[in-house]
Amino acid sequence: MNQPFPPNSWEARAERSVLYGFTDLPALKEHGPIVLTHGTGIEVHDVHGRSYIDANAGLWNMVAGFDHAGLTAAAKAQYDRFPGYHAFFGRLSDQTVALSERLVELSPFDSGRVFFTSSGSEANDTMVKMLWFINTVSGRPEKRKILTRENGYHGVTVAAASMTAKPYNRHFGLPLPGFVHLSCPHYWRNGEEGEDEAAYVARLAGELEEVIAREGAETIAGFFAEPVMGAGGVIVPPAGYFQAIAPILRRHGIPLISDEVICGFGRTGRLWGCESFDFEPDAIIASKALSAGYFPLGAVILGEALAADLVEASEKTDEFVHGFTASGHPVGCAIGLKAIDVIVNEGLLDNVRAMAPLFQERLQALTALPHIGEARGIGLMGALEAVADVGTKAPFDEDLRVSERIAARCLDNGLICRPLGSAIVLCPPFIVTESDIGAIFDRLEESLRAVFAGIG
Whole-angstrom distance, CA of residue 366 vs CA of residue 401? 20
Among 73, 63, 60, residue whose Cα is nearest residue 41: 63
Mean pLDDT across the chain, nearest whole number?
Answer: 97
Q: Residue by residue, what is the 3-state secondary structure of 253-264?
A: CCCEEEECCCCC
User: 368-382, pLDDT tens digit by residue?
Assistant: 999 999 999 999 999
* Residue 1 confidence (pLDDT): 44
Rg value, the chain, Cα: 22
Average pLDDT, integer, range 34-48: 98
CATH 3.90.1150.10 domain residues, the chain = 34-67+347-455
Whether residue 220 has pLDDT greater than 60: yes
Distance of CA 186 to the CA centre of its chain: 17
List, in sequence order, the alpha helices (H) in 149-237.
158-163, 187-190, 197-215
CATH 3.40.640.10 domain residues, the chain = 71-345
CATH class of the domain defined by 71-345: alpha beta
Whether residue 456 has pLDDT greater than 80: no
Average pLDDT, integer, range 196-211: 98
Question: CATH number of the domain at 34-67+347-455, out of 1.10.287.470, 3.40.50.1820, 3.90.1150.10, 2.40.128.720?
Answer: 3.90.1150.10
Average pLDDT, integer, range 190-204: 97
Whether residue 143 has pLDDT greater than 70: yes
User: pLDDT-derived band of residue 2, with 50, 70 and 90 as boundaries?
Assistant: low
- Amino acid in position 111: S
Whether residue 365 has pLDDT greater than 70: yes
User: 399-422, pLDDT tens digit by residue?
Assistant: 999 999 999 999 999 999 999 999
Whether residue 443 has pLDDT greater than 70: yes
Average pLDDT, integer, range 62-85: 98
User: pLDDT-derived band of residue 3, with 50, 70 and 90 as boundaries?
Assistant: low
User: pLDDT-derived band of residue 397, with 50, 70 and 90 as boundaries?
Assistant: very high
* Residue 4 confidence (pLDDT): 77
